[in-house]
Structure 1
Amino acid sequence: MAKLTYVTNLSLDGYIEDERGAFDMIPPDDEVFAFTTDLVRPVDTFLYGRRLYEAMAVWETDPALAAQSDLAATFANVWQGTSKVVYSSTLPATSTADTRLERRFDLAAVKGMKDTADGDLSVGGANLAAQAFEAGLVDECHLLVLPVTVGGGKPGLPTGMRTDLELLDERRFGNGVLYLHYRTRGQ
């Protein structure tokens, strides 16, 4: 059975975006960027909400982004080589290859994907991740904690529920980012 992972950046106070909806909390860093690329490299399928998909689609639709550096080109290749499922009731169509549009996040279908997938899946977007956590489908979390507090916004982890976690790995980066890798208990 494949694992379902949740990979996200979040502020020290737990938000993935501030109250204005921005997620520009820290300047790009080559060490963290290369690490993140390696972190998502084994993922076979990304499960995205509309907003995160639209933010990530530029890695395929804007060639100038990949042309900025070797690191950017590597990430673009990894992202483009991964299947995507986008869950949205409002997105008219997808703009990237190997991308399927679903109108609702069907937890039974996600469990079926985990049971039959050859490789791991990653859920992206706090709202989808919260639903997957609540259903007990998330196996691991990869959190990149940024050295900033934003005081409010969209929480990076589900609220109103308890999830017990087991720390598997940690790493400190030179720019103050802290990587935390957890397994959900009972998985």
Structure 2
Amino acid sequence: MGKLIYAANTSLDGYLEDENGSFDWSVPDEEVHAFWNEHERGIGTSLYGRRMYETMSVWESDDWLTGEPAVVREYAQIWREADKVVYSSTLAEVSTARTRIEPTFDPEAVRRLKETSTADLSIGGATLGAEAFRHGLVDECVLLLCPVVVGGGKPALPRGVRVDLELLEQRRFDNGVVHVRHAVRNAT
């Protein structure tokens, strides 16, 4: 059975994006990128909302990767090898391999996917992540806390939902980013 892991870069004050929708403050250096590469190696299926999928689909193309460091090119390969499910009622087609569209987020279908998966699953995006938390589907939460306060924007974690956590791991990177990994105690 696979675990559903919510993973995100977040500002120290808890936002994925600032009030202007920018997340340029969370672009990883090579050490942090290598961490994400290792994390993503264990993911068999990634669950995305439309906006997160459109942001991540850049990894399908090699055009821009030519001059990038090896760690960035490696992430592209890891991303391509995972299956992807995009939850969208407006997206008509996908531009990436190993990707399917589901018109709505079905908690029971995600439970079945977890039960039948031989690898872990990830869920990305604040809105979709919040739905998974509300339905008790998230088993672990992996956050990289960036050394920046943005003062507002899109919250990384859902509002109005209590989630009890157990710290499993933490790490400080040379650039000041702090990784925390928590198990969700009340996951169903």
Instruction: Provide the TM-score with structure 2 as the length reference.
Output: 0.96
Cα distance, 1:27 vs structure 2: 4.5
Cα distance, 1:91 vs structure 2: 1.3
- 1:117-132 matched pairs, under 5 angstroms: 117-132=117-132
Query: C-alpha distance in 2, partners of 1:26/1:76?
Result: 18
Runs of at least 5 residues in structure 2 that lack an aligned partner in the other structure: none
Equivalent residues of 2:136, 2:186 under 8 A apart:
no
Runs of at least 5 residues in structure 1 that lack an aligned partner in the other structure: none
Residue matched to 1:102: 102
Moved more, 173-182 or 56-65: 56-65
Cα distance, 1:66 vs structure 2: 5.7
Query: C-alpha distance in 1, partners of 2:3/2:76?
Result: 23
The amino acid of 1:6's aligned partner reads Y
Identify if the C-alpha distance between structure 1 residues 186 and 28 changes in structure 2 by more than 3 Å, giving closer, same or farther: closer
- 1:20-169 matched pairs, under 5 angstroms: 20-65=20-65, 67-169=67-169
Query: C-alpha distance in 1, partners of 2:78/2:110?
Result: 22
Equivalent residues of 2:45, 2:82 under 8 A apart:
yes
C-alpha RMSD of the superposition: 1.2
Identify if the C-alpha distance between structure 1 residues 67 and 109 changes in structure 2 by more than 3 Å, giving closer, same or farther: farther
**2:183 aligned with 1:178:** no
Question: SS of 1:34's equivalent?
Answer: helix
Question: SS of 1:86's equivalent?
Answer: strand
Aligned length: 187
Instruction: Provide the TM-score with structure 1 as the length reference.
Output: 0.96
